[in-house]
């Protein structure tokens, strides 16, 4: 099982965090830790690139929501981008499109 990884890159328009691996229940603690490290940067905009995520559990969605809430408390925003169809379907079924702006590409999310 591939460990979940988050690689962040600061761009002029926002922080892009590429998440790779599967958001399974046993990876949630690691995902929480990695995302929490990004909150220290107090970004105005974080784009989560989910193109490398093939599966997301409800607990992993909870991790992304906690991260979004932490960033929002600092006055920032979190957008999701480049999701595989199965992951996008999961977010749609969970009604999370109301909470996260969802974009087809990283470029759209940064615009």
| CATH architecture observed for domain 5-110 | 2-Layer Sandwich (3.30)
In this predicted model, what pLDDT tens digit does every residue of 79-97 receive, in sequence order? 999 999 999 999 999 999 9
**Cβ proximity of 34 and 63 under 8 Å:** no
Q: How many angstroms separate the CA atoms of 85 and 6, rounded? A: 20
**Does position 2 have pLDDT exceeding 90, yes or no?**
no
Q: How many angstroms separate the CA atoms of 48 and 103, rounded? A: 10
């Amino acid at each position: 099982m591939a460990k979940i990884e988050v690689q962040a890159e600061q761009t002029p328009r926002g922080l892009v965090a590429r998440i790779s691996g599967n958001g399974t229940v046993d990876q949630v603690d690691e995902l929480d830790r990695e995302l929490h490290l990004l909150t220290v940067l107090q970004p105005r905009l974080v784009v989560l690139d989910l193109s490398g995520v093939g599966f997301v559990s409800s607990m992993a969605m909870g991790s992304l929501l906690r991260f979004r809430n932490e960033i929002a408390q600092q006055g920032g925003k979190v957008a999701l981008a480049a999701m595989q169809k199965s992951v996008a379907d999961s977010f749609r079924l969970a009604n999370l499109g109301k909470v996260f702006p969802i974009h087809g590409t990283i470029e759209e999310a940064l615009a």
